[in-house]
Structure 1
């Protein structure tokens, strides 16, 4: 990380898989893999474990000149999570739009469906890095005010450092 060169030549398997799956998901469900993978980080662990995005329904445009209209995000959840999602719809829309980088979503539709709970198989074990790497990660993320974002970036840093170390050995 400190060499200033970055990781220009490094292309993780997830990027390759995303490149293959994103067009399929976009065509079939109007959704991308990054949104699916980051769902828990976007809406928080409590609701993220109890729900998942299913698809994005874009309104049909009669003409190419028609103005942009935001889409509907369809979310699968069950039981009490449906009530919480309904109550926090505005916040969820804001967070998803911030993640996507534009005001893509204007409405949320809830579908009552079983959602697999987050067990050991769904959570990836965090890689272990040495103390020096932890210190560098802490220094780089120290100025980030949002606790969730700081933690997510620290996890990302650990993963990148561990993957780089694994490739060296």
Structure 2
């Protein structure tokens, strides 16, 4: 087994003593480097886009690039959206520019350019963090039989199935007695 140099070893030991580290602290430098390569001097625009522009706008658009002109009189923020959402985003350009500039702290963005893409494939780069639906509680077979027997004399098949489902849902939601 290879020995680690003294500097690396002390950093590793120090890290172990602190316990777990936040992922954001480990990735900040890498995100900043990648963002600056694409023109984002403030990576907060990429990481907190939904908080800066609001949930409605962040659902239909995302920042792509910040380009600086030769004159240095402000930058152009390029925003990607679908063709159907572009007119709505066009109407909100000034409000969007104000919100982004408030993130920078000065009037860094002078212009917003909207680019359009096809609706398919737009959300491929976005991870969805929706929780899994809760698993349904299983019912006791005796309870299922009791529900089936109580709806057995109903002639309409669809109504009987709906009432059985209703009965099962009611029994699942009931808290245990005790």
TM-score, length basis structure 1 = 0.56
Indicate conservation of the 8 Å contact 2:97/2:110, yes or no. yes
Q: Which residue of 1 aligns with 2:128?
A: 122
Q: Which residue of 1 aligns with 2:76?
A: 72
Alignment: residue pair count: 109
Pairwise CA distance, 1:117? 7.8
Greater relative contact order (CA < 8 Å, ≥ 6 in sequence): 1
Structure 2: stretches of 5+ with no match in the other structure: 1-17, 132-178
Q: Which residue of 1 aligns with 2:98?
A: 94
Aligned-residue CA RMSD (Å): 2.5
Structure 1: stretches of 5+ with no match in the other structure: 1-8, 62-67, 126-169
Indicate conservation of the 8 Å contact 1:49/1:117, yes or no. no
Distance 1:70 1:11 in 2: 37
Q: Describe the shift of the 1:24–1:122 C-alpha distance in structure 2 as closer, same or farther (beyond 3 A).
A: same
- The structure with the larger Rg is 2
Local SS of the residue matching 2:52? helix
Q: Which residue of 2 aligns with 1:24?
A: 34
Runs of 4 or more above 2 Å deviation: 9-12, 121-125
Distance 2:58 2:124 in 1: 10
* 1:71-91 superposed Cα distances (whole Å, 9 cap, x missing partner): 000000013321111101110
TM-score, length basis structure 2 = 0.54
